[in-house]
Structure 1
Amino acid sequence: MDTIYWIIIIGLFIIAFIGLIYPIIPSVLFLIAGFVLYGYLFSFTRLPFSFWVIQGLLVAVLFGADYLSNMIGVKKFGGSKAAIWGSTIGLLVGPFVLPVIGIILGPFLGAIIAELIVHKKSLSHAFKSGIGSLIGFISGVAAKALIQICMIVYFIYLVV
């Protein structure tokens, strides 16, 4: 049974990484579910209070990285708050409208459309905001992947 339990826990971790690309999947919940499931199925004794505090801090960093990377990417390329909101909406809607490619086009087009509609910016300025949004999204995925890897490595360090 231990093998089946580990397959389920690893499956939860894999789903958490899929959530980096598809933001509709709450990555953090799947990571935490894997940790809690381990504790429930095996034992919480290997996961001391300090583990949960550190994981909680890393969860806060995950949320901050997501927001900051998008904001910095858009702002660096001259985008407005509307572009940030547009890219966020595009990130959520894009994968449903255009599966697979929508995850890239959604934030890009969302930022452009927001700049054009809300601030009546030129197409070239709106395009720059879209590029910033895309760079912010990609850097955010990379940062969150690194943080999630750290969370899992710390977990494995304690339980193995």
Structure 2
Amino acid sequence: MDLLLLTLGFICIIVGILGSFLPVLPGLSSCWIGLLLLYLTDAVKNNYWVLGITFVIMVVITILDYVIPAQGTKRFGGSSYGVWGTNIGLIIGIIAPIPFGVIIGPFVGALVGELIFDAKDHRRALKAATGSLLGFLASGFVNFLFCIVFLGVFLTIVWQNRILLF
């Protein structure tokens, strides 16, 4: 049973790393589930500190995944219309069955929001939409970085308990 939980946990970690690039897959939450599955084995003693800290990190990064693109729009001169457009575009991009919808959605949403705010200033609208895109890419990078950290934690725990696991 331990080997099955270990294998499922590792698969969740890999899915999480891929999910930081492919928005269709869950990212950091999948990595955390992988750590949880590792701690559910009989060979690894429960460490609620590790699980608790990684859970808090996962929740904070997940929230930031929605906040960072909106802040990118704002930093690049976008109005509240652009910020709302980014958030609405992100939600539509997640739901819409189009390739790269999660990347295209916030960009188009910010662009449309800014054009609703001021239809004559296309340059400002494009700048705000670019900020949204850069914010999304920054968010994805942070997600990937923490997925790699979770992988490191997973591998360290496996290495420390290798005699009991294998």
Report the TM-score when normalising by structure 1. Answer: 0.79
- Spell out the pairing of 1:97-112 with structure 2 (5 A cutoff): 97-99=97-99, 101-112=100-111
Alignment-derived partner of residue 118 in structure 2 = 120
8 Å contact from structure 2 (residues 86, 132) kept in 1: yes
C-alpha root-mean-square deviation of aligned residues, in Å?
A: 2.5
Residue 3 of structure 1 and its aligned partner are, at CA, apart by 5.2
8 Å contact from structure 1 (residues 12, 31) kept in 2: yes
8 Å contact from structure 1 (residues 23, 91) kept in 2: no
Structure 1 unmatched runs, 5+: none
8 Å contact from structure 1 (residues 9, 37) kept in 2: yes
Q: Which 4+ residue blocks in structure 1 deviate beyond 3 angstroms?
A: 1-7, 21-26, 41-44
Alignment-derived partner of residue 151 in structure 2 = 152
In the alignment, the residues of structure 2 paired with residue 98 and residue 64 of structure 1 have an alpha-carbon distance, to the nearest angstrom, of: 23
3-state SS of paired residue (1:78): coil
Q: 1:14 to 1:81 in 2, by over 3 A?
A: farther
In the alignment, the residues of structure 1 paired with residue 23 and residue 91 of structure 2 have an alpha-carbon distance, to the nearest angstrom, of: 7
Q: 1:88 to 1:20 in 2, by over 3 A?
A: farther
8 Å contact from structure 2 (residues 20, 144) kept in 1: yes
Deviations 1:88-138 (A, max 9, x none): 322232352422x33322111010111122x23522211111100000000
Q: 1:25 to 1:54 in 2, by over 3 A?
A: same
**How much identity, in percent, do the aligned residues show?**
29
In the alignment, the residues of structure 2 paired with residue 143 and residue 70 of structure 1 have an alpha-carbon distance, to the nearest angstrom, of: 12
Report the TM-score when normalising by structure 2. Answer: 0.77
In the alignment, the residues of structure 2 paired with residue 49 and residue 97 of structure 1 have an alpha-carbon distance, to the nearest angstrom, of: 39
In the alignment, the residues of structure 1 paired with residue 91 and residue 72 of structure 2 have an alpha-carbon distance, to the nearest angstrom, of: 18
- Report which of the two structures shows the higher radius of gyration computed on alpha carbons: 2
Alignment-derived partner of residue 40 in structure 1 = 40
Of the structure 1 ranges 149-158 and 16-25, higher mean CA displacement relative to structure 2 is found in 16-25
Task: Give 1:120's aligned amino acid.
Answer: D
8 Å contact from structure 2 (residues 70, 83) kept in 1: yes
